[in-house]
Amino acid sequence: MKITVADVEGEVDYDKVIKEFGVQPFGEFAEKMKQGKLFSRALRNFPMFRRGLVFAHRDFGQIYGAITGGKKFCVLTGANPSGPLHFGHRLFLEQALFFQQLGAHVYIPISDDETYVFRKSETLEQATENALKKVIPDILGFPFDEKKTHIFVSTQTKRVYELAVRLSARSTFSTIKAIYGFNNETNPGQIFYGVTQSAHILFPEYAAGVHPIIVPIGIDQDAHIRLARDIAERAGFHKPSSTYHKYIPGLQGGKMSTSKPNTCIFLDDNPEEARRKMMAAFSGGAPSLKEHREKGGNPDVDVAFQYMYFLLENSDKKLEEIRSAYRSGSLATGDLKTMAADKLAKYLKEYQQRRRRNTRRADKFMLKD
Amino acid sequence: MKITVADVEGEVDYDKVIKEFGVQPFGEFAEKMKQGKLFSRALRNFPMFRRGLVFAHRDFGQIYGAITGGKKFCVLTGANPSGPLHFGHRLFLEQALFFQQLGAHVYIPISDDETYVFRKSETLEQATENALKKVIPDILGFPFDEKKTHIFVSTQTKRVYELAVRLSARSTFSTIKAIYGFNNETNPGQIFYGVTQSAHILFPEYAAGVHPIIVPIGIDQDAHIRLARDIAERAGFHKPSSTYHKYIPGLQGGKMSTSKPNTCIFLDDNPEEARRKMMAAFSGGAPSLKEHREKGGNPDVDVAFQYMYFLLENSDKKLEEIRSAYRSGSLATGDLKTMAADKLAKYLKEYQQRRRRNTRRADKFMLKD
């Protein structure tokens, strides 16, 4: 269920987004986290914060307070099993990993109910099976700590419905309607899913006692957070906090779409196939090498550069060298793409090894319901 | 959730009800069941059929076909844990027992979700606890066969939500709205409960493969059956069948109301307390004994007689003797009440012994989810 941002495709004016959605800029906290003596160097340098990729938040103060005060908090990020995970999902999951390394337990609801009631799968079985056979293995490619990880499939977890029923009496149809814009053709499952998603978000408090929850989420999903915060308050839970990150572009420069494989790197793409996709990605270089050497390229729209910036190059120093070399024209488009493609293939290879290894013991990472 | 019948209180014109609701008169099947050589004498004489207490049905033919053809079928009757069970619940549960004796498995969903979302309990925990501590023991006072009984609490049974999600995409909000008359203050749990109840009704097919289901239910709940039948057809299940029984009057002659204890015999009433309630019940006798001897009484409105007719006197012969003696005035009101009170106290004593005995091993009767 997408809530439309004026223009999530192409160039997004994030200042305008902050104003329109009434969220807070993240800069202040990014700055604090960078300097915090409490954090190890690696954590202080979490690229998504350092580079401003996380650009906004709601109520992050309570999370920062829990981190610096050594208090219990947790992180929650869900997945909709309508297709395999793609490279953009790393933005949620890398944040979840980051907070886990700071001590948080990670909760990952897989919303097979959402997939089905919004008709992104033919049957519920397909959605449930996709959750179990594809999405959970995809998540297990990330180096989560099994002792602090609780993955659960919505329809397979008794307490989800129990909590959703509990929360449903704290909301009204008109609230849900205002957020989702339902009409008479809407099915009752779609209406109820509004509170089910709040149940996913508040599940950690329900299962493990009162503690603050941070939810890394796309700004287009902000309505869900607002609903969950509203319901939380009425139902005696903490209002959950959220962070919002910038959009990583699709391989053709527009939006990623899982139904158009040439716009996405899937996390289970064969590394060589992914390399080929990257070599064919939208480029910010000039039409000819000669012209590129003369006028230089535009790293701001170059997909290979953007993927390095978002997720593939941890060193700011190297990134700046690459940026200026590309802008000046001394770094050719083909060479930039090769760098990104190599890093991508290496990442996927390691990721997929971990995916295989952890999938064999997937039950260790599952919620005990 | 009550769907209003023109006049479920007081004298009900059941012929009018049959016409208005578009259900079928049960007489034909009552006659067949009475004569069926396939049934033991006790079953042939099931009083609720023999006396016309079950007055209507939907699609009973498929159940009759299963019974006479020796095919698998099951019976489903639910309870809403908003209060303890009362004597009127016997009308559902005695039918369930009857069908179980004919070979059917019995499924009994306890809708703690319904109780809470329609605000008949302050919290969901209260409803769930009432289901487990009160309603299930109340059910276990009936001599069900543990091998063919599957009691389940809605929020405590994983597959209920799973099935409800599955069914929700086969319905629309406008259908639910038309049946329940929701408005904008309605909460999403109430909207979803429409499909959850269909999930309860279709659960046996979901859990145990395709087979016909008979649901003994009050005519005021017919809308739920119609919704379940509609959804069943779209979702590839059998349309469930239903039977409708007459209303047993409250002790004061009007409707039973669990919130007014002097209108109800509760199944866990102390037998002596129940005896006192019966002695104080609304009577069809004349104001004075002298006048009663002269003019006679009216058994049709006399609560003691009605309770004998509905549930306390199995012998038609005895019942007719009592009826004519009361009508003539030779049987005094006090004597009639004493007869009913004695039978009631005896019933409750035996019932409560069974309740205690079976409650110790309640898990034997619970659904394995």
Q: Provide the b/e sequence for B209-243 (b: ≥16 CB within 10 Å).
A: eebbbbbbbbbbbbbbbbbbbbbbeebebbbbbbb
Q: How far is CA B102 from the centre of its chain?
A: 18
Chosen for mutation from B192, B195, B227 (greatest number of chain A CBs closer than 10 Å) is B192
Q: Round to the nearest angstrom and report the end-to-end CA distance of chain B.
A: 27
Both tokens of B209, joined, read 């493969």
Contact between B203 and B166 (Cβ < 8 Å): no
Six token digits for residue B149: 């009984």
What is d(CA B53, CA B243) in angstroms, rounded to the nearest whole number? 10
Q: Which of B90, B18, B17 is nearest to B347 (CA)?
A: B90
**CA B175, CA A328: separation in Å to the nearest integer?**
64
Of B124, B171, B185, the CB nearest to A165: B124
Please tell me which of the candidates B165, B176, B188 has its beta carbon nearest to residue A116.
B165
Beta strands in A201-321 (DSSP E): 213-217, 241-245
B179 touches B214 (CB < 8 A):
no
Q: How does DSSP assign B70-106, residue by residue?
A: T---EEE--B-TTS--BGGGHHHHHHHHHHHHTT-EE
Nearest to B221 by CA among B243, B239, B251: B243
Complete DSSP assignment for B295-353 = H---TTT-HHHHHIIIII---HHHHHHHHHHHHHTSS-HHHHHHHHHHHHHHHHHHHHH
Task: Determine contact, residues B56/B14, Cβ cutoff 8 Å.
Answer: yes
CB-closest option in A165, A172, A186 to B184: A172
The length of chain B, given as a count of residues: 369
Find chain A residues with C-beta within 8 A of B165's C-beta. 113, 116-117, 124, 155, 189
**ipTM of the shown complex:** 0.88
Residue for token digits 């299930």? B136
- Taking CB atoms and an 8 Å cutoff, what residues of chain A touch B169? 116-117, 119, 187, 189
Instruction: Please state whether the predicted TM-score (pTM) of the whole model is above 0.80.
Output: yes
Residues of chain A contacting residue B227, judged by C-beta atoms under 8 Å apart: none
Tokens of B103: 């070979």
Question: What tens-digit pLDDT sequence spans chain A (369 residues)?
Answer: 333 444 444 568 999 999 999 999 999 999 988 886 767 777 778 999 999 999 999 999 999 999 989 999 999 999 999 989 999 999 999 999 999 999 999 999 999 999 999 989 999 999 999 999 999 999 999 999 999 999 999 999 999 999 999 999 999 888 888 887 777 678 999 999 999 999 999 999 999 998 999 999 999 999 999 999 999 999 999 999 999 999 999 999 888 887 888 899 999 999 999 999 999 999 999 999 999 999 999 999 999 999 999 999 999 999 999 999 999 999 999 999 999 999 999 999 999 999 999 999 999 999 998
Give the A:B interface size as CB pairs under 8 Å. 121
Which A positions 153-192 lie with beta carbon below 8 A of chain B? 155-158, 160-162, 164-166, 168-174, 176-177, 182-192
User: How far is it, in rounded angstroms, from Cα A189 to Cα B22?
Assistant: 29
Cβ separation A186–B171 shorter than 8 A: no
Q: Could you give the C-alpha distances from A211 to A150, B50, B54, B126, in angstroms and in order? A: 16, 61, 55, 24
**Cβ atoms within 10 Å, residue B114:** 26
What is the dihedral angle through the alpha carbons of B251, B254, B258, B262, rounded to the nearest 10 degrees? -40
Phi, psi (rounded to 5 degrees) for B127? -65, -45
Which residues in chain B have their CB less than 8 angstroms from residue A174's CB? 184-185
Measure the CA–CA gap between B228 and B175, rounded to whole angstroms: 11
Q: Can you read off the two tokens belonging to residue B319? A: 């019942």
Asked if B237 reaches chain A (Cβ–Cβ under 8 Å), the answer is: no
Angle at A40 between CA A36 and CA A45, to 5 degrees: 75
Q: Nearest-CA residue of chain A relative to B175?
A: A184
Q: Which B positions 109-148 lie with beta carbon below 8 A of chain A?
A: 113, 116-117, 119, 123-124
Which stretches in chain B have pLDDT values below 50? 1-9
DSSP states of A54-112 as a string?
Answer: EEEEESHHHHHHHHHTT---EEE--B-TTS--BGGGHHHHHHHHHHHHTT-EEEEEE-H
Q: How far apart are CA B243 and CA B77, in angstroms?
A: 11
As to burial, measured by CB atoms within 10 angstroms (0-12 exposed, 13-18 middle, 19+ buried), residue A368 is exposed
Task: Give dist(CA B215, CA B22) in Å, integer.
Answer: 17
pLDDT given for residue A41 in this prediction: 75
Torsion-angle region of A119 (φ positive above 0: left; ψ -120 to 50: alpha; else: beta): left
